[in-house]
Amino acid sequence: MKFRLATAQYDISFLHNWEDYTTKIYRWVNEARTHDAKLLLFPEYFSMELASLFPPAVYQDLGRQLVALQSLHDAFLQLFSGLAQQQGVTIVAGTFPVRQEDGRYTNRAWLFRPDGSRAFQDKQKMTRFEQEHWHISPGRELQALDSDVGKLGICTCYDSEFPLLARELVRQGANLILVPSCTDGLAGYNRVRIGCQARALENQCYVAQAALVGEAAWSEAVDVNMGAAAVYTPVDYGYPVDGILSIGTLNQPQWVYADLDLAGLQQVREHGQVRNYRDWSDYPLPN
């Protein structure tokens, strides 16, 4: 299937009310649709700007902001589900920290389909900040998700740095790995970027990265955000010689667009200069 992907360099804001948020999200989604995008990817923790809707005693406290955000989770789901249906697009709405029945919080990436259905993928690997200071817990399942444009895999930020996670999603049929990311410096951004390019190389698939950008001095969780959105490819016949199909200007709010042909990947896997996808069979995954 051929389609246009839009991946975001999304600028974090301080919001005054819910209407500010919906206006901003509508503007972003509408802009992507005017460029004929069928799949929209927002970055990790882009939902944390919603914490600014609460009093300072809440948004300045790592624990209290997680509790407060749960009161907005249903409205968040309704907003993006409605937009996906109205605009006829698939939206991966970055991530939202979600409280589980056992009291744990997971970093959840929601996928919204044009037919009103939705699915999610929880982040599997926690950074030190998430684990030691914010007490976000890892997800327990890893599954490729069905969409109108084919099966998708989601490796949130740090997950992209672990080869077997992406490989398992590709094994399940995902030819596109989506990486919503949030990094607070160039080193972190480059770790994720290098991970994305490596996963595209190893699996001869597409990998799309979204990035949170801008400063939010009011939030300990997402105070500084740096990066660039991009779409990476195999490095072989028919693809860019550097494996970069499209990339944004560092730290500048914008959509980054790329036209993808998922079916075309089979050609390079079978007839490319190298056969990384096939040759993984020499190194079987552990049970």
- Whether residue 168 lies inside any domain: the answer is yes
- Whether residue 276 lies inside any domain: the answer is yes
Residue 15 sits in a domain whose CATH number is: 3.60.110.10
- Whether residue 67 lies inside any domain: the answer is yes
CA atoms within 13 A on the CB side of 240: 16
- Whether residue 65 lies inside any domain: the answer is yes
* Containing structural domain, residue 129: 2-282
DSSP state of 262: S
Separation of alpha carbons 156 and 126, rounded Å: 10
- Whether residue 257 lies inside any domain: the answer is yes
- Whether residue 287 lies inside any domain: the answer is no
CA distances (Å), 103 to each of 58, 67, 115, 171, in order?
Answer: 19, 10, 31, 32
- Whether residue 79 lies inside any domain: the answer is yes
pTM of the model: 0.96
Query: Total structural domains in the chain?
Result: 1
Residue range 236-286, pLDDT digits in tens: 999 999 999 999 999 999 999 999 999 999 999 999 999 999 998 766 555
Residue range 91-142, pLDDT digits in tens: 999 999 999 999 999 999 999 999 999 999 999 999 999 999 999 999 999 9
- Whether residue 13 lies inside any domain: the answer is yes
